[in-house]
Copies of this chain bind each other. A is one copy, B any other.
Amino acid sequence: MSKQAVLDSLDANRQANFDRLLEFLRFETISAQSQHRGDMQACADWLVRLFTTAGVLARAGNDDARTTVLVYGHYDVQPVGDEKLWQSPPFEPTIRDGRIVARGAADDKGQIFTHVVATLAWINAARTLPVRVIFLIEGEEEIGSPNLGTFVQRHADELACDYVVLSDTAKLDADTPALTVSTRGLLYKQLTIAGPSKDLHSGLYGGAVGNPLNTLAKILASLVDKKGRVTIPGFYDNVQTPDVHQREALARIAPNDDNMANALGCPALAGEEGYTTIERIGVRPSLDVNGIIGGYTGEGSSTIIPARASAKVSMRLVEGQQPDAISQAFDKAVAAACPPSVRLSIETSAACEAYATRADTPGAQAALAAMAAAYDAQPALLYEGATLPILPLFRRVLRADSLMMGYCMRDCNAHSPNEFFHVSDFEAGCRASALFLAELADRVR
């Protein structure tokens, strides 16, 4: 293996690699906005050209190697939001204080590009790849990957791999790269409560008619008890209480509660009794009301009993919780809490299971070793509270574990104005991604 040659090549081509990243960032690949369809296609073409110019196809590598890694990422980005809040135009990448500021700088163009650069460096400098590498870079992640599941299922044979690697998560802090070992699942529900056929005068009928808003409040309040535990029967049935080792691991990455509350602007944090903040986010399920609307919500007052009320409720699920079973239990609990004076309807708009992997697999060890060498720092293990629906998909269809190597800062303004990625993280990420391929080849044969 010529690891050093590859690292030297990365060093020698710093400016070229960096310029190429900026080129990547200039494409206005906002998947949610149809006027950018042309930009999406141009960016996809540009990526394909990058690989073919280097003399490879997007599926590249040492055909003799039996070990295969699938690099997943996305070239689409979030809408820019209020452009006035950006200090520089979102699609004109600008360097400020060592940061590349642009929409997609971290999520996910900048991070996926470390793997692109690393793979091309292997091909250019070593004329080989330590393992077979397949790139799967989609343009629909920010709109929920509506076609990815079908695509992966249809091309399961071509996409067969030992591990999936992705860089769409963050570091622990400025100095510490991280391997994310779990993500929570998601179950999203929309409730509608219908009462009288039109809004009623609360004087003429108040006290004698089931009020959809009072009822909605009752139902929602019944779902979480005073101790912050979800009351849906069976909700915790297969949820493991974290053991001593896991709690210790979580404690090492725990934020300071007071600092976190201050940063978020909350008077205090709150959650399930008996668990720390990091445990509540990382390994415990939760239930949040995401929206409620009903009745008169304008200025001043209006004395009505509303005809209807609706709410959006989501649950983050952890390992062991089956979305289908929880979904049914939720519907049953809500129906049981609903009195006969109103009509209830429930819709499920998302259901995705949690994902958890171990840090002692050969793949995880390879990722940790690569990040440790590239950053000269012990990487952290992160338990992610958010949901990555692709991970259960890859495990189910490809039977492959996913390795989430995080290079960007947590507060990188993903989805917000002034998104950024440190130049030094881009370079360390390129090194880590390059070393990972060698480390993986060493461990998986």
* In the assembled complex, A413 has its CB within 8 A of some CB on chain B: no
| Distance from A75 Cβ to chain B, minimum over Cβ atoms (Å) | 22
- Contact A270 B209, CB 8 Å, known A214-B288, A222-B221: yes
Interface residue? A286 (CB, 8 A)? yes
**Which single member of B204, B304, B306 contacts A281 (CB below 8 Å)?**
B204
Q: What class of interface size applies to chain A in its complex with B? A: 35 or more
B196–A264 CB distance below 8 A: yes
Q: How far is the CB of A144 from chain B (nearest CB, A)?
A: 9
Interface contact A295-B289, CB-CB below 8 Å: yes
Q: A208-B271, A269-B341 are in contact. Are A303 and B295 (CB under 8 A)?
A: no
Is A39 part of the binding interface, using a Cβ–Cβ cutoff of 8 Å? Answer: no
Give A195 to B266 CA distance when docked, in angstroms: 5
A203–B188 Cα distance when bound, in Å, is 12
The reply to whether A213 and B289 form a contact with Cβ atoms under 8 Å apart is yes
Q: Is the CB of A203 within 8 A of B387?
A: yes
Using A291-B306, A295-B292 as known contacts, say yes or no to A341 and B210 having CB atoms under 8 A apart. Answer: no
**How distant is the Cα of A291 from the Cα of B299 in the complex, in angstroms?**
11
Say if the beta carbon of A12 comes within 8 Å of chain B: no
With A210-B268, A266-B342, A288-B211 in contact, do A203 and B295 touch (Cβ < 8 Å)? no
Q: Is the CB of B301 within 8 A of A295?
A: no
Whether A305 pairs with B292 at a CB distance below 8 angstroms is no
A280 on interface, CB distance cutoff 8 Å: yes
Say yes or no for A296: interface residue by CB 8 A criterion. Answer: yes
Cβ-based interface call for A216 (8 A): yes
User: Contact: B291 with A196, CB < 8 Å?
Assistant: no
A188 B301 Cβ-Cβ under 8 A: yes
Residues of B within 8 A of A349 (CB): 300-301
Closest Cβ of chain B: how far from A131's Cβ, in Å? 31
The stretch among A17-25, A86-94, A308-316, A320-328 that forms the contact with chain B is A308-316
In the complex, per-residue mask of A387-415: 1 if CB is within 8 Å of any chain B CB, else 0:
10000000000000000000000000000
Q: How far is the CA of A367 from the CA of B204 in the complex (A)?
A: 23
- With beta carbons under 8 angstroms apart, the residue of B201, B300, B316 that contacts A203 is B316
Nearest residue, chain B, Cβ from A228: B207
In the bound complex, how far is the Cα of B209 from the Cα of A209, in angstroms? 35
* Contacts from A to B (Cβ < 8 Å): 184, 186, 188, 190, 195-198, 200-211, 213-214, 216-218, 220-222, 224, 228, 264-272, 277, 280-281, 284-297, 300-307, 309-312, 314, 316, 339-343, 349-350, 384-387
